[in-house]
Each structure stands twice: as structure tokens, then as C-alpha cells.
Amino acid sequence: MADVSNVNDQTFEAEVLGSDKPAVVDFWAEWCAPCRQIAPILKELAETYGEQVNVVKIDVDSSPNVAGRYGVRSIPTVLAISGGQVVDQLVGARPKGDFEAMVKKLL
């Protein structure tokens, strides 16, 4: 069973852009209440779709470079990345269905 993995400025390139699987990338921070709200949803998505999609989270406080590169201004920001390109983006706490729809775009 897949789980949400943590990436950072050093590992993002290899684990997300270098992967042959598309990715759902959660930009979050420890102090962010809406980030904690969506964490169980992302965990469920990882468990359900982990064979086909990487679900990763990146802490914007400890890894600001990737967040800057993607223009992340508020968190949580969740990006769907396929073939190195952003194909979808959700900002803020959203219902589970919004995240599921995002994953389905990647499949």
C-alpha cells in the first residue's frame, strides 16, 4: 500500500520530475491548518492510486526553492504534474472529490 512521501528541494527533481509516474504534489507547512485538513484526503489518494500516481508533499518552509519555481503563493497548493508539466492546480482546503478529479486527469 502506497503512502504520501516527503520530498524536498534536493529530491524533487529525481522523485517527481524524473519519475515515470505522474505526481500529485502538496505544498504545505506544519503551521498550516488547512494543510492538516487535506492530509487525510491525500493519504487516501496515495493508498487508492499509489500504483499509478506518486502522491508527495513538500514543506515550503524547509524547501522554498521548488515552491518558488512553481509560483506557490499560498498553501496548501496541490499541483498535478505529468511529464514534467503542471496539468492542474488546487489552492486551499477542498472537498475530496476535487482531489479525486485531479488524480483522474493524470490517469
Cell of 65: 526553492
- The answer to whether 35 is a known catalytic residue is yes
Q: Does the active-site annotation cover 9?
A: no
Strand positions, DSSP E, the chain: 5-7, 23-28, 54-59, 77-82, 85-91
Gap between the Cα atoms of 1 and 28, Å rounded: 23
* Contact call for residues 79 and 34 (beta carbons, < 8 A): no
Choosing from 4, 25, 35, 106, the catalytic residue is 35
Of the residues 25, 32, 38, 45, which is catalytic?
32
Q: Pairing state of beta strands 5-7 and 85-91?
A: unpaired
The residues carrying an active-site annotation are 32, 35
